[in-house]
Chains A and B, each alone.
Chain A
Amino acid sequence: MNMRIPILKLHDCLLVSIQWELDDQTALQFQEDLLHKIHETSARGVVIDFTSIDFIDSFIAKVLGDVISMSKLMGAKVVITGIQPAVAITLIELGIRLEEVMTALDLEKGLEKLQRELGD
């Protein structure tokens, strides 16, 4: 039942598209996989796209916030993209703020933002 989220390499960035509802184990596995992939590829930036995700609960938000901080420790910047209106509304109502996190409307804008941040 445990599925791995694919992590793609594009130049010096990693691309992740979350395509299905995350259970706890998949989320934790992803955290580990992403950090290993950053280490392996010396990636400087990561875009995680949530376009297909229709809700994020406090556990997923915590895992996500943590993996962003962990990536930062390793020298990689993370941009979150594609957060749906319903997801943004419920996260704030739930009382979760991901304020330090870089975001963009979609994958394309996320990659542009990352390129600017990385200065090339």
Chain B
Amino acid sequence: MMDSSVKIINEWDIVAARQLGRNVAKELGFGTVDQARITTAISELARNIYLYAGQGEITIEKIESGTKKGMTIISRDAGPGIPDLRKVMEDGFSTSGGLGAGLPGVKRLMDEFSIESTPGEGTLIQSVKWLK
């Protein structure tokens, strides 16, 4: 499986991450709406890293399961972590004054979504979009 990563350190890396994701989505044959969903989801995740963790990494993987093809977006950081995961998954919750529609939005844009976070250690978010 091919995968590639973009380190998120500054604002330009957010652009690089979503361009990588869009290119992979195009290659896999996703339509324009799914391409927009994937690009937007990556942009939100990368911005979360930049705003809350300072730095981290977005990894894009092409995946296959049986006859299904898709892509995974993995967002990984060693930031402060999220103390209350349930709260962060509520619509309208944001600690940065309305910046970032947050994780519920990303979850809606993608087909699968999982999050693990340990305060003081960091956050790992994996989300999948399947080609229909």
Measured between alpha carbons, how far is A56 from B36 in the docked complex, in Å? 8
Within 8 A of A (CB), among B35-83: 35-37, 39-40, 43-44, 47
Measured between alpha carbons, how far is A23 from B18 in the docked complex, in Å? 11
Measured between alpha carbons, how far is A26 from B44 in the docked complex, in Å? 17
Q: Among B1-9, B100-108, B115-123, B124-132, which stretch is in contact with chain A? A: B100-108
CB-based contact B40/A95 at 8 Å? no
CB-based contact B100/A90 at 8 Å? no
CB-based contact B40/A55 at 8 Å? yes
Main secondary structure of the interface of A (DSSP, over half): helix
| Interface assignment of B14: CB less than 8 Å from any CB of chain A | yes
| Interface assignment of B111: CB less than 8 Å from any CB of chain A | no
| Interface assignment of B109: CB less than 8 Å from any CB of chain A | yes
Main secondary structure of the interface of B (DSSP, over half): helix
| Interface assignment of A94: CB less than 8 Å from any CB of chain B | yes
Within 8 A of B (CB), among A17-50: 21, 23-25
Known: A23-B15, A57-B44. A95 touches B36 (CB 8 A): no
CB-based contact B32/A62 at 8 Å? no
CB-based contact B99/A58 at 8 Å? yes
A56 to B, closest residue via Cβ: B40
The smallest C-beta distance from B64 to any residue of chain A, in angstroms, reads 25
CB-based contact A59/B15 at 8 Å? no
The smallest C-beta distance from A105 to any residue of chain B, in angstroms, reads 17
CB-based contact B33/A1 at 8 Å? no
Taking CB atoms, residues of chain B closer than 8 Å to A59 are: 43, 47, 99-100
Residues of B within 8 A of A (CB): 11-12, 14-15, 18-19, 32-33, 35-37, 39-40, 43-44, 47, 91-92, 98-102, 104-106, 108-109
9 more A-B contacts (CB under 8 A) besides A59-B47, A86-B32, A93-B108? Answer: A24-B14, A57-B18, A58-B100, A58-B102, A59-B99, A62-B99, A89-B36, A93-B105, A94-B105
